Amino acid sequence: MTDEAPVCLITGGASGIGAACVQGFAAAGYRVLFGDIQDEKGRALAAGLGEDAVYARLDVREERDFARAVQTALERWERLDCVVNNAAIAGVLGPIAEIPLDEYDYACSVVQRSVFLGLREAARAMQPRRRGSIVNVASVAGLSGGYGPHVYSACKAAVIAMTKSAALELAESGIRVNAVCPGNVETPIHTGVTDARWQERMAKIRPAHRDDQAMDRMARPEEVAAAVLWLASDAASYVTGHALTVDGGLTAGLPWRKQPAHLRELHTAKKL
């Protein structure tokens, strides 16, 4: 690794899409500082990736944790080229009439306010160098109703809106800001549990999710991470303010096999 290797900070990096991002960025030659509150998983992941992958405890609700993580990256490597705001939770579930305010506030602090904090600290670190890339992990739930719980969906919509707004401002400082909107991904958060039970639950819900997908399967975390890596890299040097959907055709419409019979016949007819 040379001194010129880029440096990336990734939140929620101990599992799921975050862990896939950590592995993907490290494999691409980045030096990676990643944070989470799952310390055991985070340390184990870092140990397997060598000295250029560093785990630091990072509670995305806390300003001090974000500031400390950015400062650690700057002190260790004297630069910060990319921030991936990935950390999230499914948050409070249930009917709108039954959602407690404290659980609403907690979900918003993890899913949306954390992205604001990440954007703010990234901008502060990157503006003096007049370059950098920020990628926010949003969701198809932020693009349309019906893909997630009420509060989660609202927060992800806010992430997409803030991505576009921040992109317009920070473009003048040479900083790009984009979002990735995954659909159904095989991760613990998608099952509602983060312990060893998540794989058992995934086996139960996988068939239903596959049935919704044009591609007839759920996404692998590394497929989403590949999109994040592309947006962060110079290969996407003219892309900013964009929300890239990575959903296997989920939001494109009904899978072909589920189209009404008369429409299928119409599309396959040689002439009317």
Q: Which residues are catalytic?
A: 152
Distance CA 88, CA 92 (A): 12
Distance CA 227, CA 234 (A): 13
Question: 149 phi and psi, to 5 degrees?
Answer: -60, 160
In our burial notation (b when 16+ CB lie closer than 10 A, e otherwise), range 230-247 reads: bbbbeebeeebbbbbbbb
Which distant-in-sequence residues (6+ apart) come within 8 Å of 38 by Cβ? Answer: 14, 15, 194
Amino acid in the structure at residue 37: I
Instruction: Tell me the chain's radius of gyration from C-alpha atoms.
Output: 19
